[in-house]
Amino acid sequence: MVELACGLKMRGHHVEMFVYFPQHDFFRERIDRLGIVVHEHVKNTRFSPQIIFKLAAVMRAGSFDLVVSYLKNTNIYAELAKLCCGDTKLVVSERTSYLDDRSATAALIRRSLHVIADQVVANSESQADWLRRKKWLRDKVSCIYNGLDLSEFRPNENSGVAPSSSSDMKLLCIGRVGPEKNVLALIDALGSLVKDYGYCPQLRWVGRRDESRAGRNYCLAVDRRLEQLPAVHRNWHWLGLRSDVKFLLGTHDVLVHPSLYEGLPNVVCEALACGMPVLASNVCDHPVLVEDNVRGFLFDPADVGSIAAAINKMAELPFADWQRMSRNARQYAEDALDIQRMLQSYESLVEQLVEDQE
């Protein structure tokens, strides 16, 4: 959302933002530097009707051509606010997979509200295809991939350089430590490498632990499993939340992304832009992003042996193939993941919606 707002502002558009968690201000300095007005309204309850009315007031006062909302609850607020100011076009975004739906009833209600929106944008083709199966959404769904600043995420002198040995290979994982990220299967896969191939690469995991009840139980199970596999435990390093992702991508050999489902994972896109091969689960849009044996290898996330085999294939890859995958990764990012491509897609969408209104 910040990339979209800043990018459109730099392309000459008038952009304002509405937030209801102003304390989450990690990107605020960048927004302020560009002079983007931010409307802050604190949400103090689980569902706040006040947010709907305040958002509607901002929409009416600003006479905006278009409102873009991200994430599940934000979409609901924006759709209900649009009922109070129907002239403003609304684009709602789906940023994850339908496999992340916790309640079929809640999911149906959320997506029924999409009838109010003028366009539904998914950031993955797999999610867009699934949404088009809903009769009331069939003609208003599109896919726009996330965009990256490719001058910021780029290869360095170590990109495409194969590790000196299998055990020296440095693996990087980035994501919340929770059930959907499939951490236990990855631990078992490293245990399988020790047993079947006689080595265990170094692995560093970046990300916070899931604080939900199910997440805490899962993290306890992860800790117990690591204790049961001493060789893996010695080579497994928790880094917690980090702000130096670009540095970490440049100092590791391979990104491993074993999740059970995804929208379009930013970290995979960032790794590709840095010329880093990726080992990823064969789910959702991963086959498009990684393409087996082109920019990395795919594996079955439910099959520990499949994960272990993918890691070992990467470890045994000839030097020339490491270089090939690194070049392919960067080339794909330039072709499909450039921020300017994303911005142009949104601009085209705005023009289409505004023309239809006229």
- % of the chain residues with pLDDT over 90: 81
Residue type, 31: I
Picking from 255, 167, 266, the residue whose alpha carbon sits closest to that of residue 205 is: 255
d(CA 172, CA 241): 13
**Strand ranges (DSSP E) for 52-153?**
66-69, 89-94, 119-122, 141-143
Structural domains of the chain sorted by starting position, each given as residue range(s) with its CATH number in brackets: 2-147+338-357 (3.40.50.2000), 166-336 (3.40.50.2000)
Helix (H) or strand (E) holding 156: none
What are the start-end ranges of the H helices in 132-212?
183-197
| pLDDT for 357 | 63
Using CB atoms within 10 Å of the CB of residue 116, give its burial: 0 to 12 exposed, 13 to 18 middle, 19+ buried. Answer: middle
DSSP helix/strand/coil, 205 = strand
| 119: Cα within 13 Å, side-chain hemisphere | 23
Q: What is the mean pLDDT of residues 292-318?
A: 97
* pLDDT tens-place string over residues 200-226: 999 999 999 999 999 999 999 999 999
**What would the DSSP string read from start to end of 99-164?**
GG-S-HHHHHHHHHGGGSSSEEEESSHHHHHHHTTSTTTTTSEEE----B-TTTS---TTTTPPPS
pLDDT, one tens digit per residue, over 56-94 is 999 999 889 899 998 889 999 999 999 988 788 999 999
| 3-class SS of residue 290 | helix
Cα distances from 198 to residues 48, 64, 193, 194, in angstroms, run 56, 62, 6, 5
Output Rg (C-alpha) for the chain, integer angstroms. Answer: 22
Per residue in 11-45, pLDDT (tens digit) is: 999 999 999 988 877 788 889 999 999 999 988 88
pLDDT band at 174 (very low <50, low <70, confident <90, very high): very high
Token pair of 303 as six digits:
């099959």
Q: Which pLDDT score, from 0 to 100, does residue 84 have?
A: 85
More confident residue, 272 or 46: 272
Say which residue the tokens 């929106």 belong to.
Answer: 117
Give the burial class of 274: count Cβ atoms within 10 A of its Cβ; 0-12 exposed, 13-18 middle, 19 or more buried.
buried
Q: Which of 20-29, 163-172, 254-263 is most confident?
A: 254-263
Per-residue pLDDT, 47: 86
Does 168 score more than 70 pLDDT?
yes
Q: So what's the pLDDT on residue 30?
A: 87
